[in-house]
Structure 1
């Protein structure tokens, strides 16, 4: 199996995620201010749980190589990505303390606890399959928006968000994550019970991403 097999198994949901109205409005600079602020706050809370999930990958690892595989992601999330998010939110007038005090929306709780529960009840490959839609999907979205002729950058308050996720640094991280996932999937047959289970995990997490965008739109 490869990462692309997981995407192909839920292509309709994947397109709904990567081409969601939230993303399209963001690309046109038409997204409601309140929707974006809600998203930023919930994404901070999501990243905290996401970091816990990568830390869980170290615990669930069977070998030192698998432990080493997860460590850079934990370090990057704690030392860089969350810090970047906090700094970015500060430009929108949101402090770290405010985000820490923000209640988790139902969609945030459902998504993050699904990922953590999948990791606790399954093995490390199950966990990475649940993490993959976020880890890789934002790279797809960023690249698509950056390359699209209709994406607006002038006078678009969300232009920096697009440039960040479409930029070389983030895209390089996505490539590493994709290679790691493909390595873990290499010995699994797509049509096997194991392969179909991983497809279902990936599909559910992708549907959770759709719901995460939608809760942003619903909270303008």
Structure 2
């Protein structure tokens, strides 16, 4: 099996995630600023837990090669991705200290702890299956929005967000991660109990992504 099998096993949930109303409003520049600010703060808290999950991948790794595979993601998150997020948030008037003090929303807690629990109770492949919808989904969303004729970039306050996730640097990074995931999945049969468990984990994490978008609309 490969990552496409995981997506196809929850296609309706995947479409709901990658075509969510939050994303559509963002693409048109019509998303309420309060919703976007709430999302930015919660995404900062999410990224902290996401980094912990990749650190857990090193602990759960079975081989030195698997340990090395996880390390660049931990380094990238700590050295650049979170820093970029903090810098981007500062442009919206949100400081790092303010985000550190922000309470985690229920959706953020549910999603991140599900990912960590998948890794703690399962193995490293379970963990990667739980992590995968985030990076793959954002790459799909970014590419879709940049390619769409209905997306508004001129005068859109969220244009930089679209360009970042649709841009070459992010797309290439996710492409590399997807290849590594496919290597781990290669020897697993989709219809086997193991394969179906991974589909369930991926589907649950995808549902969590839908809830994460929705809380940006509901809780702001």
- Residues 43-97 of structure 1 deviation map (CA, whole Å, 9 limit, x = unaligned): 0000000000000000000100000000000000000100000000000000000
Cα drift, residue 219 of structure 1: 2.2
Do the aligned residues in 2 keep the contact of 1:86 with 1:95 (CA within 8 Å)?
yes
Which position in structure 2 is the counterpart of 1:45? 45
Equivalent residue, structure 2, for 1:93 = 93
Partner of 1:9: 9
Q: TM-score, normalised by structure 2?
A: 1.00
Deviations 1:92-135 (A, max 9, x none): 00000000000000000000000000000000000000000002
Give structure 2 stretches of 5+ with no counterpart: none
Matched residue SS, 1:42: helix
Moved over 3 A (4+): none
Partner residue, 2:169: 169
CA distance in 1, matches of 2:136, 2:51: 15
What's the counterpart of residue 194 of structure 1?
194
**How many residues were matched structurally?**
220
1:125 corresponds to: 125
CA distance in 2, matches of 1:136, 1:176: 11
Over aligned residues, Cα RMSD in angstroms?
0.4
Alignment of 1:1-220 (within 5 A): 1-220=1-220
Q: Distance in 1 between matches of 2:135 and 2:159?
A: 21
Normalising by structure 1, we get a TM-score of 1.00
Following superposition, the deviation at residue 22 of structure 1 comes to 0.1
**Stretches of structure 1 lacking an aligned partner (at least 5 in a row):** none
Kept in 2: contact 1:34–1:219 (CA 8 A):
no
CA distance in 1, matches of 2:136, 2:48: 18
